[in-house]
Structure 1
Amino acid sequence: MRKTPVSTRRAPRLRASLVAVAIAAISGASLTGSPASAAAPTTDTTQFKGVNWADPRDNFADDELQLSGLSTSDTYAQTYTKASRIISAFRANLGANTVRLPINPYTVNGSYWKSYRGVIDAATAHGFKVIVSYWEGTGDRKDGFIDDEATYWPMWNTVVKAYKGNSRVYFEPMNEPHGYTDTEWADIAAKWLDTYKSVPRNRVFVSGAGYNDHVTTVCADPRLKGTYLSLHHYGFWKSYATYDEWVADLKVRIGDCANRTVADEFGAPMTTGLNYNVKTPDDNFVNFIQAVTDTFRELKMGSVYWPGLRTDDIYSVQKLVGPPSKPWLETTNQSGADRLAWAWGRGTPVKG
């Protein structure tokens, strides 16, 4: 789930409000699941310290994805050069080592795939881990289901063939599969694993059910053992919660599965002047960011912030600077960057 700037798109904002109501119902609920039958790929997931790099349209598109700072008219070489600079800026400004990227059939099954590969290739060449995740389309297609299996599976055939041999590339079969029940989604994830048996399971991220908002059911499914699990968590899901309430809300969504889980989306406003380095108990978003980054560090969980870069998104912790042919990034909120560093095992705790 991505945060859409209030000033630009009212319909997704309304959808986000409805989503928040649905997800809030999960808080405090009994989410079944046990890691006993789902062996973890590693003892923890702290190796993933990352950000999402997004299309300004929130990654929901019925055509080729155009990541912020790139152009669908760019050649492979131009894409590689621009991506190299942006990836280098993620590392220099934030200390990131992971980037999550969207894919869809329009991007992969058409001619633009040759250029788009430049992003993945540049990132891995710079030592980054890359999580590639399928996004559904927009409009009526934005319903939490795979849009068209006739194009979905050929897309993954192409991506897996290209990158199964690159140990820095990880595969996430679908972002936020909220159209399916927990059982239906687990069935699809199991089918993906069975289809691509040549992909090591510790290179697969299985999304939590719903809006990636809880991982307990996929964690408990023995068919999905050995995979990573991806969780999403957002401050706008509640109008207000205390620090302790946010910690409790996050932990119930994880259950006993922290050693397999990566929070590959979480975020809060970064361009509105909030200071995340100082305790501010009456501010919901400050409570949220401080709670989740402390908890990720405590549970030794990897995390991938939403978004590292998305044009015109108030949640974006980076913004583009410089000429389009030689992009670089600046940090939009140093205190937000400091909380990411803390989550990733560096930095200092919150003051006050």
Structure 2
Amino acid sequence: MLFHNFVLLGLAPIALAKVQYLGVAIAGGDFGCQIDGTCPLSSVQLAGDGPDQMKHFVGDLGMNMMRLPISWQFLVNNQLGGDLDANNMGKYDKMVQSCLSTGAHCMIDIHNFARWNGGVIGQGGPTDDQFVSLWTQLATKYAANDKVAFEIMNEPHDLDINIWAQTCQKVVNAIRQAGATSQMILLPGTNFDSAATLVSSGSAAALMRIQNPDGTTDNLVLDIHKYLDEDNSGTHKECVTDNVEDFKTVANFLRASGRKGLVSESGASSAASCLKAFCSQNNFINANSDVFAGFVGWAAGSFDASYVLGLTPTKQNGKLVDNQLMMQCIMAPWKNFSNSTIGTPQKPSVQQPTSLSSSSTMVLPPSLVTPTGDMVTIPLLTAAPTVVSKFSTRPIGSDTEMFITTPVSEMTTMTRLFSATGAPPEMPSPTFHPYAINPLGSSSLQTTLPKASGTPGTPGAGPVASGAAAAAGKAAACGLVFIGTLVAMLL
């Protein structure tokens, strides 16, 4: 194919990273829960097609963690301090077993905001012993499976963080003493567990003092949430921040502490502002995988297509199909940061391929590029399942290499020929100029447009690799597909 024609010279290897765990919440067990901890049993809607969704997310997308929200009230049939209800727990366990059958890690999420019907756990509401009883039973049930993760509580708020940390310590002791000695336990802070205040509120410091009964901190992970809308509620369509500064603060704290965190809830709409900001956030999280162990998007499950933050796949022609937000801002950053080797060029190479085949070419339409001055920004389309031209869309195999060219200036010649012939045209002697990409946190690729003389512009600053080097490095080292990271100019 086209990529194999590139000659790589003077390349230094750079290892890229990605979070260990990537997943999505299968919502429904949390439906009806309010931030005061009231969770009516009648509102619970465990996703009937949840097992099929999880098979899709794991089998088709390669995800490896599902978050399964449920209310405390549902599990004990509204009996505070009582035993797990056989009927209700049976329904929830069926979802957990469906998750485990995929091979993914499965997160049990008690979605009560550190409360029961208005009272804060251990601070005037339910006693610590009542809460510990719940977790003792859950840990005993799942002690034999190390792929079950325990999220102590969803989004505590308006409480004394030091007292709450003491409550969490009792829960950790109970989980470990019940025999669940190797499972991940997520430790949530106050203020809805927001990344913006985990450090400043003292939550992170208080929670990082929690230990296992043997004095270690193995598999005790800081729980992290964050939305991108105007009030961090996840209820508005527009995104106003990419959260990078907030996650940078958390990353610095974790790095200095020698600990890890996991982003167990973050989501956005498919508005243009979110496609930019959410992608940027998730690129940053992946680029800092030394301290961020994973990312779980909100949410699929029982949400329908009208939900503003929906990640629920739709069924088309008998198959589950994911929306643009999932593919562009959750899957693409993760797939892009594969454990492969790329090269750092000393000098861009120029090649003159004689032809382009339909299986190796993607022509991006003008609607997908954003020229700004002498720069063009191209969204990362690493999960794109089609070859795209201005006039046609044709399926390609998931194992097909793609070559991206930018439709700037008079690129319409190529798209016209594509439309007329159904395949990219034979090119007698075109000149392609590979441009630099930034693998460390960008949600889009930027390259300098050629000057009027036809001389290629200067690649952007920062840690970069030529598209050709990236393609060949992946193909040669891993036998993997090069998807969406080669930018070239057709002059």
Distance 1:174 1:54, change over 3 A: same
SS in 1 for 2:67: strand
**Corresponding letter in the other structure for 2:269:** P
SS in 2 for 1:257: helix
Please identify the structure whose Cα radius of gyration is greater: 2
- Alignment-derived partner of residue 99 in structure 2: 123
Q: Structure 1 residue 51: deviation in Å?
A: 0.5
1:314 aligns with 2:308: yes
**Corresponding letter in the other structure for 1:53:** I
Q: Which runs of 5+ in 1 are unaligned?
A: 1-43, 71-81, 275-282
The answer as to whether partners of 2:275 and 2:328 remain within 8 angstroms in 1 is no
| TM-score (norm: length of structure 1) | 0.69
- Alignment-derived partner of residue 260 in structure 1: 260
**Corresponding letter in the other structure for 2:262:** V
- Alignment-derived partner of residue 422 in structure 2: none
**Corresponding letter in the other structure for 1:339:** C
The answer as to whether partners of 2:66 and 2:104 remain within 8 angstroms in 1 is yes
1:298-323, CA deviations, whole angstroms, 9 ceiling, x for partnerless residues? 1112100011332342111224548x
Q: Residues of 2 paired with 1:142 and 1:315: CA distance?
A: 27
The answer as to whether partners of 1:216 and 1:255 remain within 8 angstroms in 2 is no
Q: Residues of 1 paired with 2:115 and 2:173: CA distance?
A: 31
**Corresponding letter in the other structure for 1:330:** V
1:62 aligns with 2:9: no
- Alignment-derived partner of residue 106 in structure 1: 73
Distance 1:139 1:188, change over 3 A: closer
| TM-score (norm: length of structure 2) | 0.51
Q: Residues of 1 paired with 2:170 and 2:186: CA distance?
A: 14
The answer as to whether partners of 2:225 and 2:263 remain within 8 angstroms in 1 is yes
- Alignment-derived partner of residue 207 in structure 1: 188
Distance 1:143 1:314, change over 3 A: farther
- Alignment-derived partner of residue 224 in structure 2: 231
Matched-pair identity in %: 16
SS in 2 for 1:127: coil
Q: Residues of 2 paired with 1:68 and 1:123: CA distance?
A: 13
Q: Structure 1 residue 64: deviation in Å?
A: 6.3
Structure 1 residues 19-168: aligned runs within 5 Å: 46-55=19-28, 58=31, 60=33, 61-63=39-41, 66-67=44-45, 69-70=47-48, 82-109=49-76, 110=85, 111-136=87-112, 141=117, 145=121, 148-149=126-127, 152-168=131-147
Q: Structure 1 residue 331: deviation in Å?
A: 1.5
Structure (1/2) with the larger helix percentage: 1
1:262-294, CA deviations, whole angstroms, 9 ceiling, x for partnerless residues? 100011013x5x3xxxxxxxx3x3443122111
**Corresponding letter in the other structure for 1:223:** Q
SS in 2 for 1:200: coil
Q: Residues of 1 paired with 2:75 and 2:116: CA distance?
A: 21
Q: Residues of 1 paired with 2:223 and 2:144: CA distance?
A: 22
The answer as to whether partners of 1:303 and 1:343 remain within 8 angstroms in 2 is no
Q: Structure 1 residue 55: deviation in Å?
A: 1.4
SS in 2 for 1:316: coil
Q: Structure 1 residue 145: deviation in Å?
A: 4.7
Distance 1:331 1:114, change over 3 A: same
Q: Structure 1 residue 251: deviation in Å?
A: 1.6
1:44-92, CA deviations, whole angstroms, 9 ceiling, x for partnerless residues? 992211101111864612216734532xxxxxxxxxxx44322112224
Q: Residues of 2 paired with 1:157 and 1:328: CA distance?
A: 40
- Alignment-derived partner of residue 297 in structure 1: 286
Structure (1/2) with the larger strand percentage: 2
SS in 2 for 1:180: coil
Select 1:288's aligned residue among 273, 277, 282.
277
**Corresponding letter in the other structure for 1:308:** A
Q: Residues of 1 paired with 2:118 and 2:284: CA distance?
A: 31
Distance 1:321 1:209, change over 3 A: same
In angstroms, what is the RMSD of aligned CA positions? Answer: 3.4
